[in-house]
A and B are shown apart, each in its own frame.
Chain A
Amino acid sequence: MSAATETVRPPAAVAPREVRPPARRPRPRVGKILLGVLGIVVSLLWVFPVYWMLLSAVTPNARLKASTPSFLPTHFTLANFTSVIGDSGFGGALRMSLMITGVTIVLVLAFAFLAALAISRWRFRGRTSFVLAVLFIQMLPAEGLFIAQYKMLSTVGESTPVLGLNSVLGISVLYTAMLVPFTIWMLRGFVAGIPAELEEAAMVDGLSRTKAFLRITFPLLAPGLVASGVYAFLQAWNEFTTALVILPAEDRQTLPIWLRSFLSASANRGIDWAEVMAASTLIAVPVIVFFLFVQGRMTSGLVSGAVKG
């Protein structure tokens, strides 16, 4: 055996030295197939929790409790979704989430857009400090602020309940403050990407500055505003920590807080995982759809400085 390989090997080992590229190819190809298999295994592993959520959501709870789980939707049902949507808290939580998210998006976009315009179209005293402050503020964790925010809103609420704890406006103001910094940074990139010369050319052609801005720059900014709006939507829609502290009343919960209560309530009578997964699916699907839409913009915003450097 060893003698045979020895006699065969030399020519094979010599050959690549003369015509290297063709002889080297077979090896990477085997490696590439193995890596491809690894890639598929990783994909299956990573997608499994999402698949399991969807599968459990369309399976009757009795089937989920069986001693052997089924890995395919063999007992397909939509009953879990009907009972979740019929849950007394779901409608109210959906309405709270929609209102808070709506108010937050409007405020964030308006405030961040104006500020982004200021820092990308003007150089002024204090600009660098402002940008620096914005970048630091966007890193601050909700956990380091929620006690003070809770006290602040409970004090304000004593005189003006519409801004206090459990109020849509109160938490929207906090969300806006949390989201404005990163949104300024994101929109700054979009505004900077539109050459001011376009606007100036329109002014040379006789438009006023306001009209030039509204007719030329603003339409070009639409994609940036949409992307930032989706970003604000995702953050406000998914937010858990601040909502848990600021919205303690049971009938003022947002969807993420409601999902937690739904699970805890279910735990008292042996968790109905089928319904809980249907509820998770209802919360996750709109988010996933929006996320896929905006993802590219967000990643590049977070690390573009580093990629360039």
Chain B
Amino acid sequence: MTTATPASAIAIRRRRTPATPYLLLLPAVLILLVGLGYPVYWQVVTSLQQYGMMQQFGAPPTFAGLDNYARIFSDDRLWAVVGRSIVFCLVNAFLTVAIGLGLALLMKAVHSAVRITMQVVLLLAWATPLVAAVTVFRWLFDYRSGVVNWLLVQIGLDQYQGYAWLAQPLTFFLVATLVIVWMSVPFVAMSLYAGLTQVSEEVLEAARLDGASPRQILRHILLPLVRPVLAIVLLLQIIWDLRVFAQIRLLQDGGAPVSETNLLGNFIYELGIGSQDFSGAAAVSIFVLLLTVLLAAPYVRSLMKEDAA
């Protein structure tokens, strides 16, 4: 999308006014410091402090070193949540990317009318606001008049008459996966399709003339050429699927066992807002932030390459 500018050439001419760029950056830097910088700082400090009920009533917090981390990380509940979050995240991310890749290849193969239909439909799903999407899925899977149970009964699976999907952790996460995959696949499919269209028609034609089968073309030409995009979208999905607080929270309203369906974000929410354990919540938050930074590093590196270009 971006075209490289001869920015360096201009920069040399403008080096005489070095104050201007800093002034231009000032508002953005200030708002980032206020809105994100201070909260991160507060979390680091609070996670190292004793911050319980006494402090709620005005007692000064006392320094506690890594006690909060020790306390939180020896809590079995946290590890259950971490394990659940990681499994859920990886399953969703890989499923999304696999389906997205399938749809991208399908879009490349079909007639343009079918392709445009698919693109419009995917855009609709992509554009649907998260809260609306989760609400619609709650309606689809409603135990009493939901269309999913009706369809399953129609094909002879009578045990789904009045089946409460959200009441069991396993089927709860199945519905959550369906919502997330439905919402996330369009971005993956569109990005990969854009990547596939970059593969020149001559290369494919040459391969065909040399007698390559469609499967060989896929394995040896298309997939290697879209691998960079594939890696990026997979990474973004993993990062995004770690932060599914809203989807889980909204589905939990449907009568799910909360403690068995909490993921990391929900755990922090309950710890902090629910039981006012701010030090513990801050410690888990720092863990989540570090995990995100670690995972985001390769993505940021690829964007920096673009910036340097």
Contacts and interface: CB of A to CB of B under 8 A. Distances in A.
Interface of A: 32, 35-36, 38-40, 42-43, 46-47, 49-50, 52-53, 56, 64-66, 68-69, 107, 110-112, 114-115, 117-125, 127-128, 130-132, 135-137, 139-152, 173-174, 176-178, 180-181, 184-185, 188-189, 192-193, 195-196, 237-238, 240-241, 244-245, 256, 259-260, 263-264, 267, 271, 273, 276-277, 280-281, 283-284, 287-288, 291-292, 295, 297, 299-309
Interface string B13-26: 01100101110110
A307 B229 contact: yes
A51 B118 CA distance: 15
Interface in B267-285: 268-269, 272-273, 278, 281-282, 285
Interface stretch (B63-71, B187-195, B216-224): B187-195
A291 B303 CA distance: 24
B39 A284 contact: no
B306 interface: yes
Contacts of A256: 129-131
Interface of B: 1-8, 10-11, 14-15, 18, 20-22, 24-25, 27-29, 31-32, 34-36, 38-40, 42-43, 46, 103, 106-107, 109-111, 114-115, 117-118, 121-133, 135-140, 142, 144-145, 147, 150, 182, 185, 187, 190-191, 194-195, 198, 228-229, 231-233, 236, 239, 242-243, 245-246, 249-250, 253, 264-265, 268-269, 272-273, 278, 281-282, 285-286, 288-289, 292-293, 296, 299-300, 302-307, 309
19 contacts: A46-B182, A47-B124, A49-B125, A49-B182, A52-B136, A111-B31, A112-B28, A135-B304, A142-B243, A144-B268, A148-B285, A149-B39, A152-B38, A152-B39, A192-B4, A195-B6, A277-B135, A284-B129, A309-B305
Which interface residue of B28, B127, B231 has the most chain A CB atoms within 10 A? B28
B42 A143 contact: no
Residue of B11, B46, B233 with highest tally of chain A CB at under 10 A: B11
A196 B293 CA distance: 35
A284 B306 contact: no
A121 B7 contact: yes
A184 B307 CA distance: 12
Given A176-B35, A283-B132, A141 B21 contact: no
Nearest to A139: B296
Q: Which of A124, A132, A244, A303 has the most CB of B within 10 A?
A: A303
A241 B265 CA distance: 9
